[in-house]
Structure 1
Amino acid sequence: MNKQELTYELALQTGLTQTKSKEVIESLLDIITEQLRQGGEIRLTGFAVLSRWHQTQRLARNPKTGEPYMVSERFSVKLKPGKQLLEEINKPTTNNKSK
């Protein structure tokens, strides 16, 4: 699912227009980005925790040429799924195909 599809689904489920849904999604992403930029974390109980972490400089290899190069230090984001999310995605699904 991409952002456009998410916007459409949000509009369907909430009764908002697609324009308003897009504004809500953009605002949510801006808030999350700013919180992580400032070093905070986002806790969505039962769903996930997003947190910023520091990656140190390290040696890597170009997959095409095998040449080594240094990857600069940077910040990245970790997503730790919540218990409810894990339970939901691991529920058995009904398969309509005949065996």
Structure 2
Amino acid sequence: MNKQELIDAVASATGESKASTGAAIDAVLESISQAVTRGDTVQLVGFGSFSTGARSERTGRNPATGETITIAAAKTVKFTAGKAFKDAVNAA
């Protein structure tokens, strides 16, 4: 499912217009992005939580040349599925 299909499904389920549904979904995604960027955790009970993590510096290899390189440390985004979401996926 892509973003437009999500908008269509939510608009159909709620009876709202696709334009207002698209704006609402954009606002939700933007709010989640801003919160996680600040380092906050976003918890959606029954669905899951979004948080930041850290990946340490590590050694890698350039596949073209075989040269050893250092891959810099980076922040990552983590999603942990909630129990209800996991149960729904496993039941299907």
- Relative to the length of structure 1, the TM-score reads 0.82
* 1:1-99 aligned within 5 A: 1-63=1-63, 66-91=66-91, 93=92
Counterpart CA distance in 1 for 2:8 and 2:22 is 8
Normalised TM-score (structure 2):
0.87
Total equivalences in the alignment: 92
CA distance in structure 2 between the partners assigned to 1:61 and 1:16 by the alignment = 51
C-alpha displacement at 1:71, in angstroms?
Answer: 2.1
CA distance in 1, matches of 2:67, 2:15: 53
Instruction: Tell me how far 1:42 sits from its aligned partner.
Output: 0.7
1:52-84 deviation digits (Å, cap 9, x = unpaired): 011122122345655433222221111111111
Change (3 A) 1:74 1:14: same
Please identify, of 62-71 and 17-26, the stretch whose mean Cα deviation from structure 2 is larger.
62-71
Task: Give 1:26 shift.
Answer: 0.7
For 2:18 and 2:64, locate their aligned partners in 1 and report how far apart those are by CA, in whole Å: 42
Summarize the Cα distance change of 1:63–1:4 in structure 2 as closer, same or farther, 3 Å threshold: farther
Higher helix share: 2
Describe the shift of the 1:21–1:58 C-alpha distance in structure 2 as closer, same or farther (beyond 3 A). Answer: same
Read off the aligned partner of 2:72 and give its amino acid letter. S
- Percentage of identical aligned residues: 32
Q: Tell me how far 1:13 sits from its aligned partner.
A: 0.7
CA deviation digits over 1:10-43, x for unaligned, max 9?
1111111111111111101110000001100011
Unmatched 5+ residue regions in structure 2? none
